[in-house]
Amino acid sequence: MIQTVNIFTVLSVLLFLHAAWSDFRSWKIPNAAVLALVGLYAVNAAVALLTTDDIGAALFSFNGIGGDVGAGLLLFALGFALWLFRLFGAGDAKLFLPIGLFIGWHAMLPFAVYLLIVGVFTVLVLRLPMPLQLAHLSFFMRIEEIRATRKIPYGVIMVFAALAAIALRPAA
């Protein structure tokens, strides 16, 4: 079955990848990327409301906007709590809101599983020795810097888990 490509999905993936790359490079997630993702979701939700026959179901069902907003607020509250305990940076906590909006309520469990898988993979990559042939490349030099400082860019892990959840989310 061939599905059409949604422009909102493409733009959200690009914005998520921008946030992840920025976090990898500098341990900072730009506020502009988070705001653009929330704005993009709002426009997507408005278009969905204008094109639906059942506005109540689109607004208040777990498959609709209500479930998406609920997932976003729950993840944001979790990120805020982790930030309060200094386990997360503020950018990581803020990034949880658009992640929840785009994955929705029904993809929360798969997102958590993907988060675990990507997190374990990241820990393994950071523990394995660096091949000497690759040590001079800037990407691998950055991985060495992350190893040395022991500061993990959680935004990268969160974005890849979110992209897996978005890719496997059933079409509405």
Task: Concatenate the DSSP letters of all residues of 105-172 into one string.
Answer: GGGHHHHHHHHHHHHHHHHHHHHSPPPTTTTTSHHHHHHHHHHHHT---HHHHHHHHHHHHHHTSPP-
Does the model's pTM come out above 0.75? yes
Rounded distance between C-alpha atoms, residue 36 and residue 30, angstroms: 10
Whether the per-residue pLDDT at 162 is higher than 90: the answer is yes
Q: Report residue 3's pLDDT band, with 50, 70 and 90 as the boundaries.
A: low
DSSP SS3 for 35: helix
Instruction: For residues 96-104, give the mean pLDDT.
Output: 96
Q: What is the pLDDT of residues 113-156, one digit of tens each?
A: 999 999 999 999 888 887 777 777 888 888 888 888 988 999 99
Residue 19, pLDDT score: 97
Residue 171, pLDDT score: 59
Q: What is the pLDDT of residues 9-46, one digit of tens each?
A: 899 999 999 999 999 999 999 999 999 999 999 999 99
Q: What is the pLDDT of residues 55-78, one digit of tens each?
A: 777 777 777 889 999 999 999 999
Of how many residues is the chain composed? 172
Sign, CA torsion 87/32/22/14: positive
Residue 21, pLDDT score: 96
Q: Report residue 1's pLDDT band, with 50, 70 and 90 as the boundaries.
A: very low
- What distances in angstroms separate CA 107 from CA 80, 155, 167, one per listed residue? 20, 18, 10
Q: Are 165 and 110 in contact (CB under 8 A)?
A: yes
Nearest Cα to Cα of residue 102 among 30, 25, 28, 158: 158
Residue 89 zone, left/alpha/beta (φ > 0; ψ -120 to 50; rest):
beta
Enter the tokens of residue 165: 């959840």
b/e map of 115-129 (b: 16 or more CB within 10 Å)?
Answer: beebbeebeeeeeee
Look-up: residue for tokens 């204008």?
50
